[in-house]
Amino acid sequence: MNLALHVADDCLARHDVRVLGDGARTVVFGPGFGCDQTTWLPVAQALARSHRVVLMDFLPARHDSLHGHAADLLEVLAALQAENVVFVGHSVAASIGLLAAVQAPARFASLALLCATPCYLDEPPHYAGGFSREQVDGLLELMERNFADWSDTVGPLAFGEFNAESFACDFSRRLRRQDPAALRRFMALTLLSDLRADLPRCPVPTLVLQSPHDDFVPASATRHLVEALPAATLRLLDASGHCPHVTHPAQVARALHAHLSA
């Protein structure tokens, strides 16, 4: 086998890359913290009727920084020989996509960031990210001390009070099936990341999709994200919680269709 093909095949297998549809435009979906590509499947299938859709997973324990995961994304795109990509990232995958677009903007036609934030940590009085350092440390400590209790805490936080309790329960069960050490490492990377200095360096047109009631991303963080990006448009969804692609997939699919058709 040609060495370049072998490297590409290894990369695609590592991230469990799947391709749906055969349209001219490539849309790549990145899953958020604690999720895998299956959470995007209803939205991806809707878009695959008219686009080439790529589903992939990130490996939580693979890197010590989000920049490493961004390099993985770029490696996947190169292995697919994908150009003018629309990258759709949820939560931390949105951060990964932003970093990849800063590093290789020519690879991307646009970004669509779902429930994204440039920084989760508060920095009073200048920035309100939604979490104090003490709260983040408390979540990480609980995760190490009692993984089941941590998962039962994070599930309701992710889906909020306005969605059916079953969504939070399903997510908590999903978390408990994963490796606690790897997930803790990835959660620390996620909650302690700060992309604010990177935002002005991203020239790629960006759609920001946000739930008005998101316990992980306050309105102040969304406002900072949109104002700091050079070419960003905000669309508020008629949904709640941090995972509207799970609770309201048809609405998210319609928003992405509109973005792709613009």
Alpha carbon distance 63, 86 (integer Å): 24
Identify whether the C-beta of residue 169 lies closer than 8 Å to the C-beta of residue 160: no
161 vs 228, more confident = 228
200-215 pLDDT, tens digit per residue, is 999 999 999 999 999 9
Q: What is the DSSP string of 168-207?
A: HHHHHHHHHTS-HHHHHHHHHHHHT-B-TTTGGG--S-EE
pLDDT surpassing 70 at residue 1 = no
Q: What is the mean pLDDT of residues 223-250?
A: 97
- Is residue 29 classed exposed, middle or buried when 0-12, 13-18 and 19+ CB atoms within 10 A define those classes? buried
Residues 6+ apart with CB under 8 A from 88: 27, 28, 29, 30, 40, 97, 111, 112, 114, 256
Q: Which two tokens stand for residue 178?
A: 């994963």
Identify whether the C-beta of residue 115 lies closer than 8 Å to the C-beta of residue 244: yes
Q: Which two tokens stand for residue 216?
A: 């992980």
Task: Please report the domains of the chain, with CATH numbers, ordered by start residue.
Answer: 3-119+195-261 (3.40.50.1820)
17-27 pLDDT, tens digit per residue, is 999 998 889 99
Alpha carbon distance 144, 38 (integer Å): 26
pLDDT on residue 4: 53
DSSP character at residue 83: -
Counting every residue written for the chain, the total comes to 262
Cα-based distances in Å from 71 to 58, 75, 95: 11, 6, 12
- Amino acid identity, position 220: S
Alpha carbon distance 94, 160 (integer Å): 20
Using a cut of 0.75, tell me whether the model's pTM lies above it.
Answer: yes
- Tell me the catalytic residues: 91, 214, 242
pLDDT category, 9, cuts 50, 70, 90? confident
pLDDT category, 262, cuts 50, 70, 90? confident
